[in-house]
Amino acid sequence: MKFPASVLASVFLFVAETTAALYLSSTYRSGGDRMWQALTLLFSLMPCALVQLTLVFVHRDLSRDRPLVLLLHLLQFGPLYRCFEVFCLYCQSNHTEEPYVSITKKRQMPKDGLSEEIEKEVGQAEGKLCTHRSAFSRASVIQAFLGSAPQLTLQLYISVVQQRVTVGRGFIMALSLLSIVYGALRCNILAIKIKYDEYEVKVKPLAYVCIFLWRSFEIATRVIVLVLFASVLKIWVLMVVLVNFFSFFLYPWILFWCHGSPFPENIEKALSRVGTTIVLCFLTLLYAGINMFCWSAVHLKIDSPDLISKSQNWYRLLIYYMMRFIENAVLLLLWYFFKTDIYMYVCAPLLILQLLIGYCTGILFMLVFYQFFHPCKKLFSSSVSDSFRSFLSCVCGACMWKSNKPVVKTDTNLKLSTDLGVTPSTSKISPELTEMWNVDDLCSA
């Protein structure tokens, strides 16, 4: 049985970040910064409450007679108790042999075009450990993007405005960044396991390293860009955040309404229609929060039984990163034109170049992961490099088609030469038509 390291990492980040936020809020209070204290507490206690609700919901504690567990969750000690329960299960499973086991069937990754189905015995303790791992993975994603991401943005903004970084603020910023990257990593692994549920998925250590570097560069540069823009245009950054948030929040619902699908009823049997709607709204809220800072790795599909689209759409990923790169570049240019005296000793062009290169470095690690280290790359119908090349060729073809539009001028010359009694040469016509034909072929490919 695998050691529950992911549970230990989730609980460590949860406790460390909450403790650091409480300490930092006390320093803001002693310094008279009531607004910073309130926002720091908000971005610390709100994800704490959501994590408790997630653990209770996954373990179905409301329908079971466990008042002590519910009390511990109300006191915000639920994750600590769950972690203690996990290690008790892990220690007991190594000493006792279970009389009852269940059989699970998984398919192996195809070798030479063939995929074998294997059977595996799963005991009750291992099944409970899998439930705990799944619950803590979801809790880590919620903590990362509904708590740590706003917290990191807030503390970095305070550091820029005050032009200094205290020890407590630097510590919580490092913890928040680590929590966001870990949450994004868990989001990637969850997406892989949900999409390829029928296969036995084994993620190699190099894949974890690649995802960690990809998410670190992507999230760090995104947060810095938002903070720089907010420091010079405080009102406009609110509009940028709201447009991003509501675009990703409403997009799954718009697709759901356009398809005319029936209301999903299979999320949880004990939930009413109102409860199901609340759960779906919370999922879309989390989906929007993730996409605000990085690629979510999943496409939320409300009318699907799994709530996630299992198809691999490279074009959606490429369009997301192209649009996000353009947005970051525009925000940095606006910051450059409207920067204030607090950036007097900052080389603005060099900083812009470093941030854009950092974001491109994150994209490079993402391409490397999908091309070489993805555990299910053998199941891809097309690789990300092939899709990227075809996408670029189609874009270049469209640009060439726009630049080679003077076909009407050729027709005018033909008419003029006909009126004058001159026989037109085919060499004047064929290059244009041949070039147009190649562009159409390129886009259709």
**Final residue of a structural domain among 201, 227, 257:** 201
> How many domains, in total, are found in the chain?
3
Show which of 347, 377, 407 is a domain's final residue.
377
| Per-residue pLDDT tens over the stretch 16-42 | 999 999 999 999 999 888 999 999 999
Does a structural domain hold residue 382? no
Domain that holds residue 355: 204-377
Q: Say yes or no: 192 and 310 in one domain.
A: no
Looking at the structure, tell me whether residues 161 and 274 fall in a common domain: no
The pLDDT of residue 444: 38
- The answer to whether residues 321 and 415 belong to one domain is no
Q: Are residues 28 and 85 in the same domain?
A: yes
29 and 88 both lie in a single domain: yes
Q: Are residues 192 and 303 located together in one domain of the fold? A: no
- Asked whether residue 111 is domain-assigned, the answer is no
Whether 222 maps to a domain, the answer reads: yes
Rounded Cα distance between 86 and 19, Å, is 22
Q: Is residue 163 part of a domain?
A: yes
153 and 288 belong to one structural domain: no
Q: Per the structure block, which two tokens stand in for 427?
A: 């060499």
Where does a domain end: 153, 178, 201?
Answer: 201
Whether the CB-CB separation of 173 and 155 falls below 8 Å is answered with yes
DSSP 240-292: HHHHHHHHHHHHHHHHHHHHTPPPP--S-TT--HHHHHHHHHHHHHHHHHHHH
**Same-domain check for residues 257 and 235:** yes
User: pLDDT for 44-90, tens place per residue?
Assistant: 999 999 999 988 888 877 777 788 888 988 888 989 999 999 888 88
Tens of pLDDT, residues 343-355: 888 899 999 999 9
State how far the alpha carbon of 281 is from the alpha carbons of 139, 274, 288, 295, in Å: 17, 11, 10, 19
Asked if 335 and 232 touch (Cβ cutoff 8 Å), the reply is yes
How far is Cα 238 from Cα 245, in angstroms, rounded to an integer? 10
pLDDT of residue 416: 40
**Considering the domain boundaries, does residue 322 fall inside one?**
yes
Is 385 part of any domain? no
pTM confidence score: 0.83
**pLDDT average, residue stretch 145-174:** 94
How far apart CA 353 and CA 332 sit, in angstroms, is 10
Give the up-direction half-sphere exposure of residue 278: CA atoms within 13 A in the CB hemisphere: 8
Residues 228 and 120 in one domain: no
Same domain, 231 and 321: yes
Query: Is the pLDDT score of 168 beyond 50?
Result: yes
Domain identity same for 170 and 312: no
pLDDT in tens, 90-121: 887 766 666 666 777 677 767 766 667 777 76
Whether 109 maps to a domain, the answer reads no
Instruction: Indicate whether 55 belongs to any domain.
Output: yes
Q: Are 27 and 166 in contact (CB under 8 A)?
A: yes
Residues 12 and 128 placed together within one structural domain of the fold: yes
